[in-house]
Chain A
Amino acid sequence: MSDLLKIANKTYQSRLLVGTGKYKDFAETRAAIDASGAEIITVAIRRTNIGQTAGEPSLLDFLPPEEFTYLPNTAGCYSADEAVRTLRLARELLDGHQLVKLEVLGDPNTLYPNMTETLAATKTLVKDGFDVMVYCSDDPIIAKQLEEIGCCAVMPLASLIGSGMGILNPWNLQIIIENAKIPVLVDAGVGTASDAAIAMELGCQGVLMNTAIAAAKNPVLMAGAMKKAVEAGREAYLAGRMPKKLYSASPSSPTAGLIS
């Protein structure tokens, strides 16, 4: 069955997008990403270490940009201007690459997004030719506004970044999905495989996560679990679940032929 994720006119086999932060070392990062099957991986843009020993390995040595679709993010940005500046640098860094993840934070304790700044940054970036995947609150009105501005995907939080609390408001997510004409991906808050499966069963086009894999006791094993959960959730969504009933008057086994 061909069921591809389509973002900004490019298709992907995997609906699991993963971050590359918080791993023990680059070898573990690579092993976990391989186990996840992810094709799109997020990276952060930071000042280069100057005076670094020349041969020191970098993330790019382990995850060559030719093998993956890099999704540079704006983690740590608290204003639209900082986020736009960061992504323009990312575009230069990645040879004109246009697919980016925008997140503008509002508060260092919760890392909750600042949607006023996020909307402003989305406008600038869309005008500037970027394909913008936007991390946002799970507010259906905001999600619609982002779509109208022209972002290529909205990525509402399941719960706070790095919290592992799972999907706190499935009802809002469902409204966002129902109203959207662009892909909706859950970004942030997934804690374990069932959370990812639920997001997909709700009809999300994909799930983006980092900490749920990187902070697991065995990240590589969890990466494989997430891959299966996203696939299982997607298939269950496409299959269409049976209606929920308090009890059923039709048993699964035949009522005839009982011994007496």
Chain B
Amino acid sequence: MQLTINGKARSFDLAQMNVAQLVEQLALVGKRLAIELNGEIVPRSQFADTQLSDGDKLEIVGAVGGG
């Protein structure tokens, strides 16, 4: 599966994947983050129920130092 994550193209071996599995693949489990899939926020409670498709665009964000 081919995805664009935070502006970069990435390929995954899995043909079927949900958002929870993607978080695992990216070694981000347990990190506080928010995810947008094709411009729509995916609530954390729905990670496992949200299937990804080839060509999806995701933004994965966290909190950093700022003023």
Residues of A near any B CB (own CB < 8 A): 19-23, 29, 42-48, 50-51, 54, 58-60, 65, 70, 72-73, 75, 85, 88-90, 92-94, 161-162, 209-211
Q: How far, in angstroms, from A209 to B66 measured CA to CA in the complex?
A: 10
Q: How far, in angstroms, from A22 to B59 measured CA to CA in the complex?
A: 24
Tell me how far the C-beta of A25 lies from the nearest C-beta in chain B, rounded to whole angstroms. Answer: 10
Scan B19-40; emit 1 where CB is below 8 A from any A CB, else 0: 0000000111001111110000
With beta carbons under 8 angstroms apart, the residue of B5, B6, B41, B66 that contacts A92 is B41
Tell me how far the C-beta of A104 lies from the nearest C-beta in chain B, rounded to whole angstroms. Answer: 15
Q: How far, in angstroms, from A60 to B35 measured CA to CA in the complex?
A: 18
Determine whether the beta carbon of A43 is less than 8 Å from that of B65: yes
Q: Which residues of B contact A46 (CB under 8 A)?
A: 61-62, 64
Q: Which residues of A contact B61 (CB under 8 A)?
A: 45-48, 89, 93
Q: Which residues of B contact A51 (CB under 8 A)?
A: 26-27
* Identity of the chain B residue whose Cβ is nearest the Cβ of A212 in the assembled complex: B67
Q: How far, in angstroms, from A162 to B66 measured CA to CA in the complex?
A: 12
Given known A50-B60, A58-B62, A92-B44, contact A73–B67 (CB-CB < 8 A): yes
Given known A43-B65, A46-B61, A48-B62, contact A89–B36 (CB-CB < 8 A): yes
Q: What are 5 A-to-B residue pairs whose CB atoms are below 8 Å?
A: A21-B65, A50-B8, A58-B32, A89-B36, A161-B67
Tell me how many residue pairs across A and B have CB atoms closer than 8 Å: 97
Determine whether the beta carbon of B28 is less than 8 Å from that of A48: yes
Q: Which residues of B contact A21 (CB under 8 A)?
A: 64-67
Q: Which residues of B contact A44 (CB under 8 A)?
A: 63-67
Determine whether the beta carbon of B34 is less than 8 Å from that of A22: no
Given known A92-B34, A92-B44, contact A29–B26 (CB-CB < 8 A): no
Determine whether the beta carbon of A89 is less than 8 Å from that of B59: yes
With beta carbons under 8 angstroms apart, the residue of A23, A70, A93, A162 that contacts B62 is A93
Tell me how far the C-beta of B63 lies from the nearest C-beta in chain A, rounded to whole angstroms. Answer: 4
Tell me how far the C-beta of B46 lies from the nearest C-beta in chain A, rounded to whole angstroms. Answer: 11
* Identity of the chain A residue whose Cβ is nearest the Cβ of B42 in the assembled complex: A92
Determine whether the beta carbon of A43 is less than 8 Å from that of B27: no
Tell me how far the C-beta of B59 lies from the nearest C-beta in chain A, rounded to whole angstroms. Answer: 7
Given known A47-B59, A90-B34, A92-B44, contact A20–B6 (CB-CB < 8 A): no
* Identity of the chain A residue whose Cβ is nearest the Cβ of B28 in the assembled complex: A48
* Identity of the chain B residue whose Cβ is nearest the Cβ of A188 in the assembled complex: B67
* Identity of the chain A residue whose Cβ is nearest the Cβ of B39 in the assembled complex: A85
Determine whether the beta carbon of A47 is less than 8 Å from that of B32: no
Q: How far, in angstroms, from A29 to B26 measured CA to CA in the complex?
A: 28
Determine whether the beta carbon of B63 is less than 8 Å from that of A45: yes
Tell me how far the C-beta of A90 lies from the nearest C-beta in chain B, rounded to whole angstroms. Answer: 7
Q: How far, in angstroms, from A70 to B5 measured CA to CA in the complex?
A: 26
Determine whether the beta carbon of B67 is less than 8 Å from that of A75: yes
